[in-house]
Chains A and B, each alone.
Chain A
Amino acid sequence: MRIQKELRPVVLIEVLFPLALLLLGVYHGVVQVLCRAGIVRADGLPGMGYYQGLTAHGVINAIVLTTFFAVAFGNVVVSQTLDRGVSVAGAWAGLILMAAGTLFAAIPILLGQASVLYTFYPPLKASPFFYIGLVLLIVGSWVAFWSWIPAYRRWRQSHPAEKTPLAAVGIFATFIVWQLCTLPVAYEVIVQLIPWSLGWTAGVNVVLARMLFWFFGHPLVYFWLLPTYTMYYTMLPRLAGGKLFSDFYGRFVFMLFIVLSSPIGLHHQFMEPGIDTSYKAVHAILTLLIAVPSLATAFTLAASLEHGARAAGGRGYFAWWAKLPHLDEQRWLFPYLFMGLVIFIFGGFTGIVNASYGMNALVHNTAWLPAHFHLTVAGPVFLGILGMGLYLVLGMLGKPLAWPKAALSVPYVWTLGVFTFSTGLFVSGLRGAPRRTNLGLSYLDPSSPLYRPDWLTGEMAGVLGGIVMALAVVIYFAVLLKSLLAPASALAADEFALPLSEAYHDEDVPAVKNFFPWVAAAVLALFLAYGPPLAEVIKARYPGTPGYTPDSPVAVE
């Protein structure tokens, strides 16, 4: 089954537009490590302030790129696996809304009127255009998702005896999580923040807004991750020359993520007032249950890789690893996925530290946090986006990959960089260095009374890692641009399809065939986990707080 030809321009724009913005996002990542370590002792580099650039870095890399890519990848997966059933009008409508939203949010960021970081915690106040842009971006992704639902229904009706293709299960799980978790943040932004930033309401209930934000903020990371999980379960085994070890686990893991992604957000608020410890404890327990689908995934993927490696002549307990296509130019996508998995092992374990209740007091809001999430969102997620993004662009255009050796080097260079960066920030974080702070102007300025020489080594490792990461991105863009300049083949574009795997254990387990019971369980879990703390916050009637712009301690009139 091939992908609908009419979808090609939509997918190409959805991949290339955010990749172009990524250049600014990555540039400002480098500016940040330089400023933090005190190598550049200024408010950023000329043209963009430190916190303005940090806002751009977060919004572009973690919200715009990830959302556009999830929609692009979803369009391709649904078209290929569900009988070319994507509504082309729906796909265009989603894209136009998302692009308009991005431009709406980008203008105030570039003008310095929305330097509130990508978490936009009130009562820091941004231009209303920033919030309106975010709403349009999210609604655009909803529209794209809604346009896939009829394709799913038609497919189920015309293939009553078959299991839904696993890749489609992964994409629908991704967007079910997204649909559920974006509702509270939509309430926060539309009902609380937009009228307040327009001056229609005087104050905002900060405690409520923060709870609604984190209701969204943690499932957001699974929205980032699940498209990459879809690649791991449905393409990595085939790229390794084998089959998916357990089809059941693929389905079970995606269903578990629908249930467990959302009722856990309070673990981001362990250190906050206004929330009883019993609710925090419940969320801590539910958060740790996420380790179950993660360990099931680790088992299944390792078994699938071993299956492929043994088919290629691999032997022994560990020696078979050498038979995986680590440097195979024909299967250059493999290391993008494989190295993401390697990085994610460390992202997962450090995530357990963050979730571990009292232990969070050591790391909350320190440099440990960006060190951790660069091993998740800038690990498997980012490498998945880079690899699959390139794969989709070349496939849709029918162009060959230029410089395959350079393309193969990108995931390895990136891994080296991100490990160096994160190791450094783990160290300075454990010594108390705060995240999202221009350290070079105070704590890492030897002439400041606040000087903390014990943070310097870690932040210098951050600089080294950041530069290596940027180098990987430069190589990637060189490969992408060189490939785009090559002549296109209409035949190759027509032949393009995702390399989907077969299953080795392919049992039919009725419990994981249907989304409905899992969505119902997710809604129930949300009511149980968020009903009582939300009711308590609403009952407490916290007074409204006026807004503040980042440049002045005087409230905005």
Chain B
Amino acid sequence: MAPSSAQGVPALEKKVFLAALLFCGALLALLGYAAQTLGVSVPGCVTNVKPFTAGELLEVGPGRYEAHVVARMWEFEPDVIRVPKGSIVDFYVVSQDVAHGFIIPGKNVNLMALPAAVAYAQARFDAPGTFQIICHEYCGLGHHGMAGSVVVTP
């Protein structure tokens, strides 16, 4: 290909631009598929639950639980959440002081706990066992010890 110095965008550059757009389009199509069809989405803005100050586990139906979790320096309340296997748990998480994190490795539960706004995620626990809940946002000197658990009973 010869060097050029005319007006306008050269043909090869146009083709590369098109290829880059197609690549992005393919990625976006996959994200749309995951969100719409597989339900792999992100937490939204919860407006029907006001920030709460006490943690509790509520049984709202057969095999259905609501966990209201308060994160504070440096513990979760409740720190152990016991549910039978096969349960679906709705987690509502709020902080009473600084920003905290709330991740359950092995489940798609990964939230930021903030004061003033409630975070929400849902998970299904099919197999018995213990799942750690880990604070993954730096929250002060005791951060590395801030953890809880979900105990799934047989």
Verify that A and B bind, or say they do not.
yes
A residues bordering B, Cβ < 8 Å? 43, 49, 51, 54, 117, 121, 123-124, 205-207, 210, 243, 246, 248-249, 269-277, 280-281, 284-285, 288-289, 291-292, 295-296, 299, 352, 356-362, 364-366, 431-432, 434-439, 441-443, 450, 452, 504-509, 536, 540, 542-543, 545, 548-553, 555
B40 proximal to A (CB < 8 A) = yes
Q: Which residues of B contact A357 (CB under 8 A)?
A: 31, 34-35, 40-42
Among A206, A273, A292, A296, point to the contact of B43 (Cβ < 8 A): A273
**Digit string of B7-38 for contact with A (CB within 8 Å is 1, else 0)?**
11110010011011101100110110011000
Within the assembled complex, what's the spacing in Å between the Cα atoms of A555 and B115? Answer: 13
Given A291-B20, A292-B20, A548-B97, residue A359 in contact with residue B43 (CB < 8 A)? no
Instruction: Please tell me if the beta carbons of B24 and A273 are within 8 angstroms of each other in the complex.
Output: no
Instruction: Please tell me if the beta carbons of B73 and A206 are within 8 angstroms of each other in the complex.
Output: no
B99 proximal to A (CB < 8 A) = yes
User: Among B44, B136, B138, which residue has the most Cβ atoms of chain A within 10 A?
Assistant: B138
Instruction: Please tell me if the beta carbons of A271 and B112 are within 8 angstroms of each other in the complex.
Output: yes
| 8 A Cβ contacts from B106-154 to A | 106, 108-112, 114-120, 132, 134-141, 143-145, 147
User: Among B35, B114, B144, which residue has the most Cβ atoms of chain A within 10 A?
Assistant: B144
Q: Which residues of A contact B132 (CB under 8 A)?
A: 432, 450, 452
B57 proximal to A (CB < 8 A) = no
Closest-by-CB residue of B relative to A281 is: B35
Within the assembled complex, what's the spacing in Å between the Cα atoms of A18 and B98? Answer: 31
Within the assembled complex, what's the spacing in Å between the Cα atoms of A360 and B41? Answer: 9
Among A288, A289, A540, A553, point to the contact of B97 (Cβ < 8 A): A553
Instruction: Please tell me if the beta carbons of B134 and A434 are within 8 angstroms of each other in the complex.
Output: yes
**7 tightest CB-CB pairs across the interface, nearest first?**
A432-B105, A358-B40, A434-B136, A553-B73, A274-B117, A550-B140, A273-B119
Closest Cβ–Cβ distance, residue A11 to chain B (whole Å): 34
Instruction: Please tell me if the beta carbons of B42 and A292 are within 8 angstroms of each other in the complex.
Output: no
Closest-by-CB residue of B relative to A430 is: B105
Q: Which residues of B contact A439 (CB under 8 A)?
A: 144
Closest-by-CB residue of B relative to A117 is: B138
Given A124-B140, A274-B114, A550-B140, residue A288 in contact with residue B120 (CB < 8 A)? no
Within the assembled complex, what's the spacing in Å between the Cα atoms of A210 and B140? Answer: 18
B60 proximal to A (CB < 8 A) = no
Instruction: Please tell me if the beta carbons of B72 and A271 are within 8 angstroms of each other in the complex.
Output: no
Within the assembled complex, what's the spacing in Å between the Cα atoms of A300 and B88? Answer: 51
B46 proximal to A (CB < 8 A) = yes
Given A505-B3, A548-B140, residue A288 in contact with residue B24 (CB < 8 A)? yes
Within the assembled complex, what's the spacing in Å between the Cα atoms of A450 and B132? Answer: 8
Number of interface residues of B (CB under 8 A): 64
Within the assembled complex, what's the spacing in Å between the Cα atoms of A516 and B144? Answer: 49
Closest Cβ–Cβ distance, residue B39 to chain A (whole Å): 8
Within the assembled complex, what's the spacing in Å between the Cα atoms of A508 and B35? Answer: 43
Closest-by-CB residue of A relative to B96 is: A553
Closest-by-CB residue of A relative to B27 is: A288
Q: Which residues of A contact B30 (CB under 8 A)?
A: 356
Among A269, A435, A540, A545, point to the contact of B136 (Cβ < 8 A): A435
Closest-by-CB residue of A relative to B137 is: A365
B48 proximal to A (CB < 8 A) = no
Instruction: Please tell me if the beta carbons of B145 and A450 are within 8 angstroms of each other in the complex.
Output: yes
Q: Which residues of B contact A275 (CB under 8 A)?
A: 44-45
Instruction: Please tell me if the beta carbons of A365 and B24 are within 8 angstroms of each other in the complex.
Output: no
Within the assembled complex, what's the spacing in Å between the Cα atoms of A303 and B109? Answer: 44
Q: Which residues of B contact A364 (CB under 8 A)?
A: 103, 110, 136
Q: Which residues of A contact B108 (CB under 8 A)?
A: 358, 361-362
Within the assembled complex, what's the spacing in Å between the Cα atoms of A551 and B141? Answer: 5
Instruction: Please tell me if the beta carbons of A276 and B45 are within 8 angstroms of each other in the complex.
Output: yes
Within the assembled complex, what's the spacing in Å between the Cα atoms of A356 and B118? Answer: 23
User: Among B10, B45, B114, B141, which residue has the most Cβ atoms of chain A within 10 A?
Assistant: B45
Within the assembled complex, what's the spacing in Å between the Cα atoms of A452 and B105? Answer: 11
Q: Which residues of A contact B136 (CB under 8 A)?
A: 364-366, 434-435, 437
Among A43, A49, A441, A548, point to the contact of B98 (Cβ < 8 A): A548
Closest Cβ–Cβ distance, residue B119 to chain A (whole Å): 4
Instruction: Please tell me if the beta carbons of B20 and A296 are within 8 angstroms of each other in the complex.
Output: yes
User: Among B6, B40, B116, which residue has the most Cβ atoms of chain A within 10 A?
Assistant: B116
Apart from A277-B43, A292-B17, A362-B108, what are 9 other A-B pairs with CB-CB below 8 Å?
A: A271-B111, A272-B117, A296-B20, A364-B136, A366-B136, A434-B137, A437-B143, A442-B144, A553-B73
Closest-by-CB residue of A relative to B104 is: A432
Q: Which residues of B contact A550 (CB under 8 A)?
A: 140-141
Instruction: Please tell me if the beta carbons of A51 and B117 are within 8 angstroms of each other in the complex.
Output: no
Among A291, A441, A507, point to the contact of B10 (Cβ < 8 A): A507
Within the assembled complex, what's the spacing in Å between the Cα atoms of A438 and B139? Answer: 12
Given A280-B42, A358-B40, residue A248 in contact with residue B24 (CB < 8 A)? no
Instruction: Please tell me if the beta carbons of B10 and A505 are within 8 angstroms of each other in the complex.
Output: yes
Q: Which residues of B contact A205 (CB under 8 A)?
A: 116
Instruction: Please tell me if the beta carbons of B34 and A291 are within 8 angstroms of each other in the complex.
Output: no
Q: Which residues of A contact B45 (CB under 8 A)?
A: 273-277, 536
Given A357-B35, A435-B136, residue A506 in contact with residue B9 (CB < 8 A)? no
Within the assembled complex, what's the spacing in Å between the Cα atoms of A280 and B34? Answer: 15
Given A434-B134, A450-B147, residue A277 in contact with residue B41 (CB < 8 A)? yes
Q: Which residues of B contact A536 (CB under 8 A)?
A: 45
Among B5, B23, B73, B112, point to the contact of A272 (Cβ < 8 A): B112
Q: List 22 A-B contacts (CB under 8 A).
A: A54-B138, A123-B115, A124-B98, A205-B116, A210-B99, A270-B42, A271-B112, A273-B118, A274-B117, A277-B41, A356-B27, A359-B31, A365-B112, A432-B105, A434-B103, A437-B136, A504-B3, A507-B8, A508-B7, A509-B8, A540-B117, A545-B115
